[in-house]
Structure 1
Amino acid sequence: MSEENTAAHRQEPPQVPSLGTLLVDTGHRNRVGEFRGVSGPYWSLRPVCGGTEWEAEPADVRVPEPMERLRAEIARCNARSAGRIL
C-alpha cells in the first residue's frame, strides 16, 4: 500500500468542541448531552437536564440533527420550569 493510500484511510481525531455544545453519543444509544471537557482519550458529556456525566469515545460523537437539538432544548426548559435544574 502506498503512503498516499495509508494517509487517506487514517482518520483525524475530531476537533474538541466548546463547553456546553450539544452532542449525540452514538455509542450510548444516541444519548444527547452537553460537552463538559476532555478526560484522557474520552470526552465528558452531561445530560441536558442535569445528572451524572458519562465518558464518550470522540469517534462516536456527532452534532445533533435539528429535531434532536429541539427535543433536548425543550426537555431542558421543562426541567428548569419544574424546578429540577437551575
Structure 2
Amino acid sequence: MCDEEGPVLGSYAVDVRDGRLGEVMGRVGGRIQLRRLGGGREWDVPPEYLGEADPAEVLRERVRLLNRDARRRVGLG
C-alpha cells in the first residue's frame, strides 16, 4: 500500500479518526486525499491517521455498491 512517499495512488486506506474507507487520490500539503469508493468529495487525512484497509472490507463495500447500482437499474431502490 505504501512506497517511500506514502500510500500508492489507487490503493485503499482507512481514516482511523472515523473509520471511513477510501481510495487514495493524491497528496496535497502533506495530507493524503481519500475518496469514498462510490465517488463523492475527497477529504484530507494527515498521514498519522491513515490506516491500512482490510481487503475483506474493501470487497464488502464494492459488492454493496454493485448491489445498490443493480437495484437502481431495475427500479427497486
Q: Which has the higher helix share?
A: 1
Deviation, 1:15, is: 4.6
1:55 aligns with 2:44: yes
Structure 1: gaps spanning 5 or more residues: 1-13
Aligned residues: 69
Whether the 8 Å contact between 1:48 and 1:75 is mirrored in structure 2 is no
- Determine the structure 2 residue equivalent to 1:19: 9
Looking at CA atoms only, which structure, 1 or 2, has the larger radius of gyration?
1
Change (3 A) 1:33 1:53: same
Deviation, 1:30, is: 0.6
> Structure 1 stretch 42-51 or stretch 56-65: which is displaced more?
56-65
- Determine the structure 1 residue equivalent to 2:25: 36
Q: Which segments of structure 1 move beyond 2 Å, counting only runs of 4 or more?
A: 75-83
Q: Calculate percent identity across the aligned residue pairs.
A: 32
Structure 2: gaps spanning 5 or more residues: none
